[in-house]
A and B are shown apart, each in its own frame.
Chain A
Amino acid sequence: MSSWRENITSLPSAVAQFVNESASTASTYLHSAHSGSGTSVSEESAPQHTDFKALPIPASLVKEQWRLIFTSDANIQDLQAAIAHCRDLVLLSDECSEERRWLVRHLVDLRYSLQELEEAQAISSDDVVLMNAIKSVVGHHFVPHYPSARNRLQAAAKRYYCDHCTGIIWRVVQAAYICSDCSYLVHQKCIDSVQRVCAHVLASERQFPVAEICPEIGLAAQRYKCAECSTLLNFKNSWIEPRLCDYRGLYYCPSCHWNDSFIVPARIVHNWDFTPRRVSRTGLQEIQLFVDKPLIRLEEENPKLFVFLEKLCTVKKLRQNLVHMRHYLAACKVAVEQKLVDQQLGRRRHLAQSNEFYSIGDLVQVESGVLADFLQGVFKVFDVHIRRCDMCLAKAYICEICSNNEVIFPFDDGCIKCDQCNSIYHRVCLTRKNMICPKCVRIQERRLQLDRMASKQADKEIDINANDASDEVQPANTT
């Protein structure tokens, strides 16, 4: 790695020029001649504070920046001092303020950089290792990016573009880094001027995908600037035309918004609309991070969907059954030993943990019908185990209304569960009893009885007290 990077610098100047030229022509492919100016703008504008830039240091902290911000050539002492100072500032800042958020992010970055440096020093003799170390910039954790050996041929055909300067990354001669969290891809030369805060940081701060459909605030409110890099936008020049991100509802410049199309979570939740919309780069990276996370309480957000969509009801019912089954499997030694739940569900364990939460990926699969089939398969496997396992059978239910010896389970079709006491009955039997759960009646009776006993006891005590009181009062009256 180090050797061929050296080679780049020692390349004949003609070749270097060619590379530079081709890089700039590549960038015009996206928007003409903006990449170069973009870099310089970012360097100049870094200290400036605007409302919509995610990265820059808050205005109130500008005077501290010389103690906080370092380039990659900082040494360990500098970083340690900066960490200490940053930590003090975090404690001084107001809770939930913009300053605190910036400081916390920055503190994490600083600590990462420190760790990198320390690790690098520990093995400082080996330059290659130093090159391989993770670089952290504005929340990204960059690792060197190589096309994998398997698809090297395809990779050669595929073009990679730098997320920062939008220029093409010439694999053979240019080193590139990729963020291990959000897949932000960047030239090695651009790495120190990266502006976009890692989508992973944003996603974890936001916790949920944006819930409103395209919450647009308008260009005026954005002061005609790109929400990410603050480039001035106008409609006259196509290379600085404003592009709307359907996910964030903000306008971006063409270098931050590549007209990528992707499904938008809010549109699925509210409209059951799976049409891909145009989203900004940061929006795209953020949605992709949310795709597999079970965060959406669909029924709470949009209860009507369950009325209109039969497939959603099927999935809900199946998941409810799996939740019941999981209780059995979690309490069964054999199933735990066989790792039955893990084996069947793996990373999608949330599907059997409750039937409330859906990930975006789940919803896409509900629409395509894949999820129902998948859950049906899991249901069958679990069912086979439970009906064959002695311990699971021992924990079945017996309908106390008809009291025959047939065992029933909460996930059986003809059975109904009392929401209060968790008992299971045949649906027919409970209907015969006017849907009044006999166990709940008993519990109620017992409680009444206890209350009556308690009140009797209290009455007695009051009587005794009253007697005592009258005893005391009487002599007073006689005197």
Chain B
Amino acid sequence: MASRKKSLLKVIILGDSSVGKTSLMNQYVNKRFSNQYKATIGADFCTKEVVVNDRVVTMQIWDTAGQERFQSLGVAFYRGADCCVLVYDVTAPNSFKNLDSWRDEFLIQASPRDPEHFPFVVLGNKVDLDNRQVSTRRAQQWCQSKNDIPYYETSAKEGINVEMAFQTIAKNALEQETEAELINDFPDQIRLNSENNRPGNADNCQC
């Protein structure tokens, strides 16, 4: 069973500009933080090996540009994502309001098989700052209304909760992947042999 599971998890980080997407990724992957703001151009990814449920998987974390929706490049890389991380800045109410549109756009562009149960994780970043504007309760309410999305409050600067959040992300991504496999994946050998042997077309007879 374990042998035919793919060991690459694709995780996409979304959110408004300057909420700390790149910083979160850097803190998690490289354990580094820089105070300097540098806007991400286009999109880029980092990989990290993690152990989830006694399995070693490679996490491919896609860091995106915050101005994504308004820039001139596409988002074909959303396709095949295993988990989507929505990040907002607890000191910027607008970045919280925009989570809705980030989620919608992601679901449309990625068009997962089961949009209702696609694993999202919400991170409220920058909790180390004093001027907090979005309350935990408000964020939790929103997460509950969207099918109980797991919610974490993090600080990329201090490294608070980052490790734990990404552990959850990996776990949820893996679960999604297992479910998908149960429904859709045939063993690799067969898929290599013939394209016609599509999953789920058992009653799709040739005649």
A residues contacting B by CB (< 8 A) are 324, 327-328, 330-333, 391, 393-398, 400, 403, 405, 407-410, 421-422, 424, 439, 442-443, 446, 450
Contacts and interface: CB of A to CB of B under 8 A. Distances in A.
Given A403-B111, A446-B100, A396 B76 contact: yes
Contact of A395 (B69, B77, B79, B109): B77
A407 B100 contact: no
B73 A395 contact: yes
B109 A396 contact: no
A442 B79 contact: no
A422 B71 contact: yes
B104 A395 contact: no
Contacts of A446: 100-101
Contacts of A424: 74
A169 B176 CA distance: 85
Contact of A407 (B76, B104, B108): B76
Contacts of A394: 43, 76-77
A410 B76 CA distance: 13
Size bin of chain B's contact surface: 20 to 34
A22 B73 CA distance: 68
Contacts of A409: 74
Interface of A is mostly: mixed
A203 to B, nearest CB: 34
Given A446-B100, A450-B97, A398 B73 contact: no
A442 B107 CA distance: 13
A327 B72 contact: yes
Given A331-B73, A422-B70, A442 B43 contact: no
A398 B109 contact: yes
A400 B109 contact: yes
B46 interface: no
Contacts of B159: none
Contacts of B180: none
Contacts of A398: 74-76, 79, 109
A395 B74 contact: yes
B103 to A, nearest CB: 12
B42 interface: yes
A400 B74 CA distance: 12
B190 interface: no
B56 interface: no
A179 to B, nearest CB: 42
B73 A327 contact: yes
Interface in B26-85: 41-44, 69-77, 79
Given A331-B41, A421-B69, A396 B100 contact: no
Contacts of A331: 41-43, 73
A4 B72 CA distance: 63
Contacts of A395: 42-43, 73-77
A328 B111 CA distance: 24
A391 B41 CA distance: 12
A428 to B, nearest CB: 18
Given A327-B73, A333-B44, A398-B75, 7 more contacts: A328-B73, A331-B73, A397-B75, A398-B74, A400-B109, A421-B69, A443-B101
A324 B72 contact: yes
Contacts of A408: 74
A327 to B, nearest CB: 5
Contact of B108 (A396, A400, A422, A450): A400
Contacts of A422: 70-72
A193 B74 CA distance: 62
A397 B74 contact: yes
Contacts of A442: 101, 104-105
A450 B42 CA distance: 28
Contacts of B70: 421-422
Contacts of B43: 331, 394-395
Contacts of B73: 327-328, 331, 395
B200 to A, nearest CB: 16
Contacts of B76: 393-398, 407
Contacts of A439: 105
A397 B73 CA distance: 8
What are the 7 closest A-B residue pairs judged by CB atoms, nearest first? A397-B74, A331-B42, A394-B77, A396-B76, A395-B73, A327-B72, A396-B74
A327 B104 CA distance: 25
A331 B43 CA distance: 8
Nearest to B80: A405
A395 B40 CA distance: 14
A56 B77 CA distance: 66
Contacts of B111: 400, 403
A407 B97 CA distance: 30
Interface string B137-161: 0000000000000000000000000
A408 B76 CA distance: 9
Nearest to B97: A450
A66 to B, nearest CB: 56
A415 to B, nearest CB: 11
A424 B71 CA distance: 12
A251 B109 CA distance: 66
A330 B73 CA distance: 11
A405 B72 contact: no
B43 to A, nearest CB: 6
A408 to B, nearest CB: 8
Contacts of A393: 76
A395 B62 CA distance: 12
11 contacts: A331-B42, A391-B44, A393-B76, A394-B43, A395-B74, A395-B76, A400-B111, A422-B71, A422-B72, A442-B101, A443-B101
A67 B97 CA distance: 68
B33 to A, nearest CB: 23
Nearest to A417: B72
A422 B72 CA distance: 6
Nearest to A453: B97
Interface in B151-176: none
A396 B44 CA distance: 14
Contacts of A396: 74, 76
A397 B79 CA distance: 10
